[in-house]
């Protein structure tokens, strides 16, 4: 039995990064009776709770835990073919571990009242100069994604403005949404638009990264529109920028 280390009231840690089972950090209030088996898609498959993968995202599955859906993601090196790097990332210390950064960003968003898809647990395991990691978060699947709405041609100016406000609130809270895509934004709810996936998010001090988030989101939107045979509505985009402020 591995001793569990309590870190404040929000998170707990158990294991070590050099063990085969890795170092696990989780939110006890959200995870409940958590076990490291939850990071293994085969565990969910054996229990008939593996709902399948997510189109276009390698190493990501949706699973059913009780009445909720969870997203299990094996982190990959961004920008490189999975066949080359698989799920190994360069180890630069715990502070720069992508899984740990994502957990911190989720906690920051929760504290700011922004998080509709909190991270339940993360794990990372050292492999010499490299490490692999998994993130388990709530799957916000009750609302359509911005990408879906774009393809359907049903994005109103109110939605564009809500996207801008959502992005601004996260930036004001110091949350860099480095992996933000149109498919990660959920349309609806009390705020109009919510972030449904904090992949590669991290907490940072103010800087040019906020502008990079905006540019990255535009490129994602343009990519979705291009595949649907549409082009960017510049009036709509400037509505987003005006709401962003």
Write phi, then psi, for 173 (nearest 5 degrees).
-85, 0
pLDDT at residue number 182? 95
Q: What residues are paired with 133 via a beta bridge?
A: 124
Choose among 82, 64, 81: nearest CA to 72: 64
pLDDT at residue number 34? 86
Task: List, in sequence order, every beta strand (DSSP E) within the chain.
Answer: 4-7, 11-14, 23-26, 50-54, 57-65, 68-74, 89-90, 119-127, 130-138, 175-177, 185-187, 193-195, 201-203
Number of CB atoms found within 10 A of residue 154's CB = 11
If pLDDT is split at 50, 70 and 90, which confidence band does 4 have? Answer: very low
For tokens 């995202």, name the residue.
Answer: 57
pLDDT at residue number 47? 92
For tokens 């835990």, name the residue.
Answer: 65
If pLDDT is split at 50, 70 and 90, which confidence band does 33 have? Answer: confident
pLDDT at residue number 7? 43
Choose among 136, 137, 128, 123: nearest CA to 16: 123
Residues 6+ apart with CB under 8 A from 229: none
Structure tokens at 3: 């001793």
Q: Lowest mean pLDDT of 78-92, 168-182, 227-241, name the range.
A: 78-92
Map residue 224 onto helix, strand or coil. Answer: helix
pLDDT in tens, 87-103: 789 999 999 999 999 99
pLDDT at residue number 189? 82
Q: How far is Cα 43 from Cα 194, in angstroms, rounded to an integer?
A: 30
pTM (two decimals): 0.88
pLDDT in tens, 114-157: 988 899 999 999 989 999 999 999 987 778 999 999 999 989 99
Please write down the long-range contacts of 33-39, taking CB distance under 8 Å and 24 or more positions apart: 34/120, 34/121, 36/123, 38/65, 38/70, 38/72, 38/121, 38/136, 39/72, 39/121, 39/123, 39/134, 39/136
pLDDT in tens, 167-214: 999 999 999 999 899 999 999 888 899 999 999 999 999 889 999 999
Please write down the long-range contacts of 219-222, taking CB distance under 8 Å and 24 or more positions apart: 220/147, 220/180, 220/181, 220/182, 220/183, 221/146, 221/150, 221/182
pLDDT at residue number 59? 83
In the chain, the percentage of residues whose pLDDT exceeds 70 is: 91
Instruction: Share the mean pLDDT of the chain.
Output: 88
pLDDT at residue number 5? 46
> How many angstroms separate the Cα of 128 from the Cα of each of 23, 82, 87, 88, 220?
15, 20, 14, 11, 35
Cβ-contact 57, 107 below 8 angstroms:
no
Cβ-contact 136, 72 below 8 angstroms:
yes
Residues 6+ apart with CB under 8 A from 203: 101, 104, 105, 108, 174, 175, 176
């Amino acid at each position: 039995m591995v001793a569990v280390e309590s870190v404040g009231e929000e998170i707990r840690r158990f294991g070590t990064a050099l063990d085969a089972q890795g170092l696990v950090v989780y939110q006890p209030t959200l995870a409940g009776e958590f076990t490291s088996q939850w990071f293994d898609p085969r565990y969910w498959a054996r229990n008939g709770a593996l709902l399948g993968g997510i189109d276009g995202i390698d190493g990501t599955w949706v699973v059913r835990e009780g009445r909720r859906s969870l997203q299990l993601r094996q982190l990959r090196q961004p920008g490189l073919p999975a066949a080359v790097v698989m799920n190994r990332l360069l180890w630069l210390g715990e502070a720069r571990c992508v899984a740990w950064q994502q957990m911190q960003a989720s906690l920051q968003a929760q504290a700011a009242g922004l998080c509709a898809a909190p991270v339940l647990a993360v794990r990372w395991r050292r492999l010499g100069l490299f490490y692999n990691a998994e993130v388990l978060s709530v799957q916000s699947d009750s609302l359509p994604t911005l990408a879906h709405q774009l393809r359907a041609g049903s994005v109103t100016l109110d939605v564009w403005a809500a996207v801008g406000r959502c992005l601004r609130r996260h930036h004001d809270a110091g949350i860099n949404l480095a992996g933000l895509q149109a498919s990660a934004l959920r349309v609806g709810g009390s705020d109009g638009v919510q972030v449904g996936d904090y992949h590669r998010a991290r907490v940072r001090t103010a800087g040019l990264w906020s502008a990079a988030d905006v540019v990255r989101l535009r490129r994602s939107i343009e990519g979705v529109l291009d595949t649907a045979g549409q082009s960017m509505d510049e009036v709509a985009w400037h509505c987003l920028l005006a709401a962003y402020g």
